[in-house]
């Protein structure tokens, strides 16, 4: 067994590669200077005795929106404390709240905690309208300027009541600013016209990072996280990075993979930290391209695994038909052949046997989740066209995750062992 006393040859500060915003908080986000400048302009009226402007921040996941807003509002709070300006920020995480009602209860709780200290219960059993009035009463009691940051507001779905009411507050004693953050473009576009005309008047978009930006982000985090890794001179860019524990191609490769996908900094960080973990596990003193590739395959396996496990039993059965076909070298496979297998499976595990049309729908859903590839091909002269399906993930990963479903495990085992017998 390994000892906790073992010296770490790679890490200096293990948290600095952690993508979770609370575990490691970079002091600045140079790639977001323009966006944070726009946010600054929206909040600047506070420093001039005026009312902050409401803002809607939009951008895909992992673009520094949450952290950027935190940095800017903390900077403002420090300024306010230094200058005896009454400023209160309420950060409300909307994830997990599927209604305006739930977000309002969180907001009232937070505002009460400002007045009475931590540990106040959420209000229960009130109507939405009453909760809005309660929130406004609390704000009037607190006074000064209040900033309400609503992160991941898309969680509230179609019920955007809170976004309609908050920007319309008519307070005597308090100035209120609302900052909404979302990574869901559809949600932003679906907002009620009145909401968009108030909250969305100032919209700040965090566009996805490109590979060069990601390289510099990862290089800065690597300097903090790893031993014998530093910048030569003043430039905090990849070009100035010197490291005895990272081979030159590691950061460019992590950045390229993340940029290729969605430009998500979190994804780049996850890949880099998993590569370092792998090197550590293999007792290697230098992290190389091969660790990155293995780490990427591992992350991919986990992601695919999670998505297979989250499917319904019927979709899992549909997937299993293609997995079996792939294992037997019968892919791309025609829908009619797959349907035959499906009927057999349903009989074996005593599941509802859906009609052929519904089965096709399940296959198409699996195509949309990226687990299958669909093609339209000719059946031969005069026989028309048909859909064929191929597996987009490895059969091993599919078998492994399908067998985790108690209802399917025996069936999957039989199909796997059947294959083994036939290859003996
Ligand atoms: N420019 C940057 N420099 C350094 N780290 C960054 C940068 N941008 C993002 N990060 C890091 O990436 C991770 C994700 O950032 P953050 O949570 O702010 O993204 P987000 O856009 O709010 O994503 P989501 O919409 O998924 O909540 C954090 O660890 C953050 O510190």
Of ligand 1's listed atoms, the one at least distance from the Cα of 151 is 27
- Highest average pLDDT, of 11-25, 189-203, 387-401, comes from 387-401
Residue 45, pLDDT > 50, answer yes
What confidence score (pLDDT) does residue 422 get? 47
332 lines ligand 1 (CB under 6 A): no
Report the percent of the chain where pLDDT is more than 70: 98
Radius of gyration of the chain (CA): 27
Residues 302 and 321 in one domain: no
Bridge partners (DSSP) listed for residue 314: none
Residues 171 and 317 in one domain: no
Could you list the residue range(s) of the whole structural domain that residue 402 is in? Answer: 311-423
Chain segment 317-337, per-residue pLDDT in tens: 999 999 999 999 999 999 999
Residues 91 and 154 in one domain: yes
26 lines ligand 1 (CB under 6 A): yes
- Find the mean pLDDT for residues 280-304: 94
CA pair distance 186, 64, nearest whole angstrom:
20
CA pair distance 55, 43, nearest whole angstrom:
9
Residue 6, pLDDT > 80, answer no
Q: Is 126 helix (H, G, I), strand (E, B) or coil?
A: coil
Residue 289, pLDDT > 90, answer yes
Range of weakest confidence among 25-34, 123-132, 298-307, 374-383? 374-383
Of ligand 1's listed atoms, the one at least distance from the Cα of 19 is 29
Residue 57, pLDDT > 50, answer yes
CATH number of the structural domain spanning residue 380 = 1.10.10.10
Q: What residues are designated binding site for ATP?
A: 209, 221
Cα of 18 vs centre of ligand 1, distance in Å, is 11
CATH number of the structural domain spanning residue 185 = 3.40.50.300
Residue pair 153/94 in contact (Cβ under 8 Å)? The answer is: yes
Mutate which of 218, 266, 268, 273 for ligand 1 pocket (most atoms within 8 A of beta carbon): 266
Residues 72 and 181 in one domain: yes
Between 2 and 364, the more confident residue is 364
Residue 135 lies in a domain: yes
Residues 279 and 315 in one domain: no
Cα of 265 vs centre of ligand 1, distance in Å, is 6
Task: Name the domain boundary from 177, 205, 233.
Answer: 205
222 lines ligand 1 (CB under 6 A): no
Residue 423, pLDDT > 60, answer no
Residue 421, pLDDT > 70, answer no
Q: What residues are designated binding site?
A: 209, 221
Residues 60 and 201 in one domain: yes
Residue 196 lies in a domain: yes
Residue 27 lies in a domain: no
Residue 170, pLDDT > 80, answer yes
64 lines ligand 1 (CB under 6 A): yes
What confidence score (pLDDT) does residue 190 get? 85
How many C-beta atoms surround the C-beta of residue 393 within 10 A? 21
Chain segment 172-204, per-residue pLDDT in tens: 999 999 999 999 888 888 888 888 887 877 999
Residue 420, pLDDT > 80, answer no
237 lines ligand 1 (CB under 6 A): no
CATH number of the structural domain spanning residue 246 = 1.10.8.60
What confidence score (pLDDT) does residue 157 get? 81
Strands lying side by side in the sheet with 55-58: 87-93, 144-151, 174-182, 55-58, 203-205
Residue 419 lies in a domain: yes
Of 204, 213, 148, 195, nearest in space to 176 by CA: 148
Residues 85 and 172 in one domain: yes
Residues 88 and 188 in one domain: yes
- Find the mean pLDDT for residues 15-39: 93
What's the structural domain count of the chain? 3
Residues 290 and 163 in one domain: no
Residue 261 lies in a domain: yes
Task: Name the domain boundary from 205, 240, 274.
Answer: 205
What confidence score (pLDDT) does residue 44 get? 97
Cα of 21 vs centre of ligand 1, distance in Å, is 7
Residue 381 lies in a domain: yes
Task: Name the domain boundary from 171, 205, 239.
Answer: 205
Residues 155 and 258 in one domain: no
Nearest CA to ligand 1 atom 26: 61
268 lines ligand 1 (CB under 6 A): no
- Find the mean pLDDT for residues 347-362: 94
Of ligand 1's listed atoms, the one at least distance from the Cα of 68 is 18
What confidence score (pLDDT) does residue 424 get? 39
Residue 6 lies in a domain: no
Nearest CA to ligand 1 atom 2: 29
Residue 95 lies in a domain: yes
Asked if ipTM goes beyond 0.90, one says: yes
Residue 119, pLDDT > 80, answer yes
Res. 419 pLDDT band, cuts 50 70 90: low
Residues 262 and 337 in one domain: no
Report the percent of the chain where pLDDT is more than 90: 78
Residues 193 and 63 in one domain: yes
Mutate which of 66, 72, 152, 207 for ligand 1 pocket (most atoms within 8 A of beta carbon): 66
Res. 21 pLDDT band, cuts 50 70 90: confident
């Amino acid at each position: 067994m390994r000892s906790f006393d073992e010296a770490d040859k790679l890490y200096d500060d293990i948290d600095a590669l952690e993508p979770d915003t609370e575990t490691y908080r970079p002091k600045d986000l140079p790639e977001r200077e323009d966006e944070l400048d726009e946010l600054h302009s929206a909040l600047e009226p506070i420093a001039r005795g005026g009312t902050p402007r409401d803002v809607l921040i939009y951008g895909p996941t992992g673009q520094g929106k949450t952290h950027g807003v935190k940095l800017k509002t903390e900077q403002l709070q420090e300024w306010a404390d230094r200058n005896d300006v009454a400023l209160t920020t309420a950060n409300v995480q909307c994830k997990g709240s599927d209604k305006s009602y739930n977000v309002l209860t969180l907001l009232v709780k937070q505002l009460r905690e400002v007045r009475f200290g931590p540990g106040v219960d959420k209000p229960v059993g009130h109507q939405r309208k009453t909760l809005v009035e309660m929130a406004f009463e609390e704000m009037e009691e607190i006074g000064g300027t209040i900033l309400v940051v609503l992160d991941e507001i898309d969680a509230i779905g179609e019920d955007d009541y809170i976004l309609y009411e908050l920007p319309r507050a008519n307070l005597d004693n308090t100035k209120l600013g609302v900052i909404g953050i979302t990574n869901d473009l559809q949600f932003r576009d679906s907002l009620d016209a009145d909401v968009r005309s108030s909250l969305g008047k100032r919209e700040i978009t965090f566009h996805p990072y490109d590979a060069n930006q990601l390289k510099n982000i990862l290089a800065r985090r690597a300097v903090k996280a790893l031993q014998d890794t530093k910048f030569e001179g003043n430039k905090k860019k990849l070009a100035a990075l010197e490291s005895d524990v990272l081979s030159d191609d590691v950061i460019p490769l992590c950045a390229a993979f993340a940029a290729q996908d969605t430009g998500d900094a979190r994804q780049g960080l996850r890949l880099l930290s998993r590569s370092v973990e792998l090197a550590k596990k293999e007792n290697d003193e230098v992290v190389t391209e091969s660790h990155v590739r293995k780490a990427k395959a591992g992350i991919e396996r986990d992601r695919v695994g999670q998505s297979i496990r989250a499917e319904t039993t019927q979709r899992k059965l549909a997937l299993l038909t293609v997995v079996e076909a792939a294992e037997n070298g019968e892919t791309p496979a025609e829908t009619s052949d797959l349907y035959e297998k499906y009927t057999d499976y349903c009989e074996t595990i005593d599941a509802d046997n859906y009609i052929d049309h519904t089965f096709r729908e399940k296959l198409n859903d699996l195509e949309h989740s990226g687990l299958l590839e669909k093609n339209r091909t000719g059946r031969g002269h005069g026989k028309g066209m048909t859909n064929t399906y191929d597996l987009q993930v490895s059969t091993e990963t599919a078998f492994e995750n399908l067998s985790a479903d108690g209802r399917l495990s025996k069936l999957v085992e039989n199909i796997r062992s059947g294959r083994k017998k036939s290859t003996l």
